[in-house]
Amino acid sequence: MSLGGQSRKRYPLQKLLQLRAHRTEKARLVVVEKQRAVRECREACERIEGEIVRLQAERAGQRLRMLDPPPPGIPFPLALEQRETHIDWLGEQEQAARQRLQQARQKLQEAEKALADAMQAFFRAKAREDALEKRKALWRGEVIALEARQEEDVAADLVQAAHFGRTRH
């Protein structure tokens, strides 16, 4: 049998079972790795979301203290300007965190797709292994039946030979 000019290597059933089991285990390990990657992406998204919440709370707190009296020795206009600058900086930090969150969510979606693909590959490999195991069971049944028929044929030959031997004498 040839495929595209190359001969296809045929393995004994036990070797095929070992190869399928190895491929299934390899596919399972890929799934585990992809699950870990998805978990890490989710955790990164949660960390960034927490950072955004903290920045929002700090910014809101700074706004509430905007008109508080300045520390002694600092003129009110200067203190107000510093507070406004700090509030603006917190807003910029929040925007940067939102951009990072958007990127992290995109990365999470990609990781989830890779996990789904890996799971499909695993289930295909497992199905192939299971089909081969089923074939092995059928083959064993055929071999046992063939051996039983051969034993019956040998027994029948012995009976016939014994009968033929008695009739000649």
Average the pLDDT over 134-143 and give the result: 79
Instruction: Please report, as a single letter, which amino acid is at residue 122.
Output: F
Distance in Å from the first CA to the final CA of the chain: 55
- What is the tens place of the pLDDT at every residue in 60-78? 999 999 888 998 999 999 9
- HEC string of 25-63 equals HHHHHHHHHHHHHHHHHHHHHHHHHHHHHHHHHHHHHHH
pTM of the shown model: 0.69
Q: Where residue 3 falls among pLDDT bands split at 50, 70, 90?
A: very low
For helices 13-64 and 76-168, angle between their N-to-C axes, nearest 10 degrees: 170
Tell me the torsion sign for CA atoms 53, 59, 61, 63: negative
Q: Which residue, chain included where needed, has tokens 């004498």?
A: 169
Write the CATH number of the domain with boundaries 13-126. Answer: 1.10.287
SS3 131: helix
Average the pLDDT over 151-163 and give the result: 80
Segments making up each domain of the chain, as ranges: 13-126
| Paired sense of beta strands 6-7 and 2-3, if any | antiparallel
Q: Where residue 29 falls among pLDDT bands split at 50, 70, 90?
A: very high
